[in-house]
Amino acid sequence: MPTYEYRCESCSHEFERLLRMSQCDEPQACPECGTTPAKKKVSFGAGFILSGDGWTGKNIRIAGQMAHKNRRLDSRQDSLKRDAPSVTLAPNVDGERVGSWAEAQKLAASKGKDASSYDTVVRKERAGKS
């Protein structure tokens, strides 16, 4: 409910009333002298705030909070990536380590496994040695 300001014409006392909008034009008695009606003043007040989930102000505030949280998490993830050990694959077949990917391919073929998945790493290994 809005607050309305009034001024008594007989004693010049100013007072406020918290009234429904439908009651603002009803005559108000002065609390000092009791004279009716007091004159309603034109006031601009502090305005009003729309609250609830659907209003833009709340959405902007939440978007700002989420952006701040994401920046904080991104910097944390970057530091974790820098601190994490680098992982490299070692040539092996069923956990049995060998010296090169070509040897791993031969071992896999000798055990009756499909060795075609080793083709790309064997080519890269040979290109690196040339």
Convert the pLDDT of each residue in 88-105 to its tens digit. Answer: 778 888 888 899 999 999
Query: What is the Cα–Cα distance from 123 to 107, expressed in whole angstroms?
Result: 17
Q: What is the pLDDT of residue 77?
A: 87
Structure tokens at 47: 């305005």
**Under DSSP, is residue 20 helix (H, G, I), strand (E, B) or coil?**
coil
Q: What is the pLDDT of residue 61?
A: 85
Residue 8 has pLDDT above 90, yes or no: no
Across the chain, what does the average pLDDT equal? 83
Residue among 116, 69, 111, 108 at smallest CA distance from 92:
108
Domain boundaries, the chain: 3-40, 92-129
Q: pTM to 2 decimals?
A: 0.34
Q: What is the pLDDT of residue 67?
A: 94
Q: What is the pLDDT of residue 50?
A: 67
Q: What is the pLDDT of residue 48?
A: 65
Residue 54 has pLDDT above 80, yes or no: no
